[in-house]
Amino acid sequence: MRVVVTRPRHSGERTARRLADMGHEAVPLPLSAPVHDAQAAGHALSETQGAIAVTSAEAIHALAALKEAIRPHLHRPLFAVGKATAKEATALGFTRVLTSEGSGIELAELVAQDAAGVAPSPLLYLAGSPRAAGFETRLAELKIPLRIAECYHMRDVEPDDATLRALFVDARAEAVLLYSRQTALRFFGLPLLRQQPEIMAETRFLCLSEAIAEAVPAAFAARTQIAAMPDEDSLLALLTMA
């Protein structure tokens, strides 16, 4: 199956390898690119103690840019969403990485269950922009103190019409993977796709969550599927379903 991967380049390459192992052809179409702010991450680390939380591997990439300056903080507990992000944190040298599957809400629940997450000092959230509000909202409900440091932001990447025609006209894309609501909105807002929606008439749109599926235009509702759980394993499992 020919599958369009809309993730940023680094994470998209990891997904492409998984698709190749499954026997699919992965076609990259990054719609955003990270801009890391290692200085903001380093400043926040130097002013805090205790546990750290990340909801994206992009935060780990910002930390990696600190090089030797990250070493004094590698003993701190780190809460991460997803196995891939946790693996990158471990590779960077963090010695205690606690992982949740799903979304930021599940990560907040994990923090609440662990003594390190509810220590007197605020939990340091190395966040990005834009981001979903679930993690912060749930922590507030659980009355867990939080300090937020934005250490990366995602800038939009707009592919040209020739790239889109190669994906949807010259050789039909059978599926598009959508990992965030913002990405879905950017995808369907691309001028060529907005003006010629018929070129995607036979394409399936596979969404990580219901919130993402809500950003898919109603005209494609019949060809939109939602992962059973908000993780990549469940998303890729949709490829085996008719």
Residue with tokens 């409900």: 141
pLDDT given for residue 242 in this prediction: 64
Range of the domain at 14: 2-31+157-240
Examine the fold and report which residue of 154, 177, 212 is the final residue of a domain before the chain moves on: 154
Q: Are residues 130 and 235 in the same domain?
A: no
Closest C-alpha among 179, 170, 77 to residue 124: 77
Q: Are residues 181 and 140 in the same domain?
A: no
Q: Domain containing 56 — which CATH number?
A: 3.40.50.10090
pLDDT given for residue 202 in this prediction: 92
Give backbone dihedrals phi and psi of 137, rounded to 5 degrees, phi first: -65, -45
Closest C-alpha among 205, 160, 144 to residue 179: 205
- Our count of domains for the chain comes to 2
Name the packing angle between helices 9-21 and 57-64 (round to 10°).
120
Q: Are residues 73 and 128 in the same domain?
A: yes
Label residues 13-42 b or e (16+ Cβ within 10 Å = b).
Answer: eebbeebeeeebebbbbbbbebebbbebbb
Q: Are residues 68 and 89 in the same domain?
A: yes
Q: Are residues 129 and 173 in the same domain?
A: no
Which residues of the chain fall below pLDDT 70?
242
Q: Are residues 22 and 57 in the same domain?
A: no
Q: Are residues 75 and 172 in the same domain?
A: no
Find out whether the peptide bond into 8 is cis, omega within 30 degrees of 0.
no
Residue with tokens 């499992």: 237
Q: Are residues 138 and 68 in the same domain?
A: yes
Q: Which helix (H) or strand (E) holds 91?
A: helix 83-92
The answer to whether 208 and 227 have CB atoms below 8 angstroms apart is: yes
Examine the fold and report which residue of 124, 154, 184 is the final residue of a domain before the chain moves on: 154
Q: Are residues 215 and 235 in the same domain?
A: yes
Q: Are residues 142 and 71 in the same domain?
A: yes
Q: Are residues 123 and 170 in the same domain?
A: no
Q: Are residues 62 and 112 in the same domain?
A: yes
> In sequence order, what are the residues at sequence separation of 6 or more whose Cβ sits closer than 8 angstroms to the Cβ of residue 202?
172, 174, 223
Examine the fold and report which residue of 93, 124, 154 is the final residue of a domain before the chain moves on: 154
